[in-house]
Chains A and B, each alone.
Chain A
Amino acid sequence: MDISRSTMDIAAACVTAAVGAVVCYGATLNGIAWGASGPEPGYFPFYVGCLIIIGSAGTIVQTLLRRNAAGHMPGHADADSFLDGGRLRTIVAFFLPIVAMVAVSAWLGLYVGMALYIFYALRIAAGFRTPTALLAALAVVAVNFVIFEKLFMVPLLKGPILEAFGIY
């Protein structure tokens, strides 16, 4: 599975153009006209949205032009790869655990989330032995607890488990 750079360029530009369209639509909800007391609140965002669409269109045209130009010289720009299967797997394997950590943190609190994540990352991804990974996870939690709760007095999300132990 190979995603070429120009494909990705066009895909990204389509997404940004869609965002631009959403911004334009959202602006019309606030009124984009010139009211009695000057420009309505949607006036500025509407043109920002338009510029996003124009910029995205420009990127698409530029990419297509470059792709056509490269077509005459085989093995040039179009051969640029954005991502191949192996790299995609590396990225997903790194990113999914982070998503899982945030989901767990929203439910059981940040300390539980980060402990599980660090344990997973060291035990499975980095291949440390279980006791080492466990110790590192606890150390990370302890260090963060001291820094945020004690030194800077910034309370992090505790979640039901810590609260059951009387830590707020």
Chain B
Amino acid sequence: MGNFGQLMDGFAVALTAHHLMIMVVGVLLGLVVGVLPGLGAPNGVSLLLPLTFTMDPISAIILLTSMYWGALFGGSTTSILFNIPGEPSSVATTFDGYPLAKQGQAARALTLAFTSAGIGALTGVLVITLLSGWVANFALRFGAAEYFAVYFMAFASFIGMSGGSPFKTLVSMMLGFAAATVGIDTISGEARLTFEFDELIGGISFLIAVIGLFGLGELLLTMEEGLKFEGVKARLDLRVIARTVAEVPRYWATLVRSALIGCWMGITPGGPTAASFMSYALGRRFSRRGRFFGKGEPEGIVAPETADHSAGSCALLPMLALGIPGSATAAVMMGGLMIWGLSPGPMLFTSQPDFVWGLIASMYMGNIIAVVLVLATVPLFAFILRAPFTVVGPLITVVCVIGAYTVANHMFDVWLALGFGLVGYVFKKLDYPLAPFVLAMVLGDKAEDAFRQAMLTSDGSPAIFFSNGLVATMMGLGLLLLCLPVIGLLLKGRSATTPKDGAAPAPEGRSA
């Protein structure tokens, strides 16, 4: 257990007063971001990123990951109390969380959600601890062709498993690639796709895209829906909390099933949103109490919450070990790592063990802090959310505008962000997935470099992608994933026009 010793070293890094304080600040900021609709985890991390350039990398990444945990937890609060998901990934929590809260059991619903979320997150971190070193070692043998194959697999799985229209996923992803190529080409030094606009020479920052697509786009959507928060009163009683925590182990089957789904969906880039829906649907089918789902059934809260959080934390495993983020937020964080001069991937484990294991250790602490803080701040956030959105909306807008400016101190970036905002609004309403866009923007250069290097070594023959067992298997899996929608279509045949027997109707365009 070499990992265990390194993890202990990691705790030594993470458990300083300074870092604990950073975790508390990060979790609190994350809760704000998670609770407010229009501010999501990817957007929040993007906004905070420019402010961390002056910090040392380990403090900065602890701040950003803590914010991520906070945002994941905060999203559940609004789902349960107001029936309004603060995050796309907590949509499934509204199905049973809100009914249970309406029955006067808000405290029980919240505690159930946070406890199972905490269990899910810790399972995810445990998986990271056990597997990341092994995966990184394995990946050390990769050449350019293998790397391209891994990227190919990641992108193919988005198209194959998106659930929506594969064409829309393809368009969204390729637009991300196109946006990533704008600017100076890293290999030849030529300016590409700039059309002689000086502002475009430096390229388009993925942070601008995230602030526009996720921030301003979501705000427009929220504005249009004319949100009114009519919530359930929540009084948290310590005895109720204790009783509910004691109740959680009874749902062990649901917990294990959901955690497994979450870990799988997090490592393969399915993401927390897909994981929570899948876990809810499977829970309804396989649980003995499945027929009570949707009427305030505790297991209906446990299932999506556990999966959501284990997927959320597992999404960081491929980011650290392979340099391939498993969710939009992980993609943003990975962009941050590159800005700090760290290159995510297997080399990080050997060159920066303090950083990697400090980060992993901080995940344990961060999630425990998040469970405590989220319970403690429920009354506060319930109060904040009673402010009308006509007041909260403009404030978030100002934050987004300032955030876009601080990325590189260019006003042009702010205009770009506005443009991305409109695109994000239209894309969300039309069910274009946005996560592949961000992923492609962050990974675009790296995927292209790997592709060109592989092609250079093989003199332009694509046979290099099938030259050995490893790379051929990965490319084959990728191709299979690409074909999944076609296979699904053939199997389903004519029944495709009838609505699927999924969970309760999800608000359209909310999946990210």
Contact = CB atoms under 8 A, between A and B. Distances in A.
A and B physically associate: yes
Contacts of A112: none
Q: Which of B166, B190, B192 has the most chain A CB atoms inside 10 A of its CB? A: B192
A16 B188 contact: no
B447 to A, nearest CB: 9
Nearest to B417: A102
Contact of B388 (A56, A95, A126): A126
B9 interface: no
A101 B401 contact: yes
Given A8-B430, A55-B170, A58-B167, A45 B497 contact: no
B130 interface: no
Given A9-B430, A44-B451, A98 B405 contact: no
Contacts of A144: 398, 402
B409 A157 contact: yes
Given A26-B192, A102-B414, A110 B402 contact: yes
Contacts of B397: 98, 101, 117
B214 to A, nearest CB: 16
B167 A59 contact: yes
Interface string A85-118: 0010011001100110110011000100110011
Given A44-B448, A48-B178, A98-B397, A27 B223 contact: no
Contacts of B192: 26-27, 30, 41-42, 45
Contacts, number: 164
A120 to B, nearest CB: 8
Contacts of A98: 216, 397, 401, 418
A165 interface: no
B195 interface: yes
Contacts of B390: 121, 125-126
Contact of A91 (B224, B405, B432, B497): B224
A48 B401 contact: no
User: What size tier do the contact residues of chain A reach?
Assistant: 35 or more
Contacts of A126: 388, 390-391
B426 interface: yes
Contact of B165 (A45, A59, A99): A59
A58 B409 CA distance: 39
A38 B456 contact: yes
B243 interface: no
A156 B391 CA distance: 23
B181 A59 contact: no
A49 to B, nearest CB: 7
Interface in B361-388: 388
A1 interface: no
Given A26-B193, A59-B167, A126-B390, A69 B456 contact: no
A17 to B, nearest CB: 9
A129 to B, nearest CB: 14
Contacts of A55: 167-168, 170-171, 174
Interface residues of B, number: 58
Nearest to B171: A55
A19 B175 contact: yes
B402 A114 contact: yes
B178 A45 contact: yes
B226 interface: yes
A114 B401 contact: yes
B394 interface: yes
A29 to B, nearest CB: 8
Contacts of B426: 8, 12
B223 A94 contact: yes
A20 B179 CA distance: 11
B406 A148 contact: yes
B418 A99 contact: yes
Contacts of B190: 30, 41
B148 to A, nearest CB: 11
A140 B411 CA distance: 20
Contacts of B54: 152-153
Nearest to B415: A102
B388 to A, nearest CB: 7
A48 B394 CA distance: 37
Contacts of B166: 58
B455 interface: yes
3 nearest CB pairs, A to B: A58-B167, A121-B394, A55-B171
Interface of B: 50-51, 54, 165-168, 170-171, 174-175, 177-178, 181, 185, 187-188, 190, 192-193, 195, 216, 219-220, 223-224, 226, 388, 390-391, 393-395, 397-398, 401-402, 405-406, 409, 411, 414-415, 418, 422, 425-427, 429-430, 432, 448, 451-452, 455-456, 460, 497
Given A49-B174, A62-B167, A144-B402, 12 more contacts: A8-B426, A44-B181, A52-B171, A59-B168, A98-B216, A102-B401, A106-B414, A125-B394, A148-B402, A154-B50, A154-B51, A155-B409
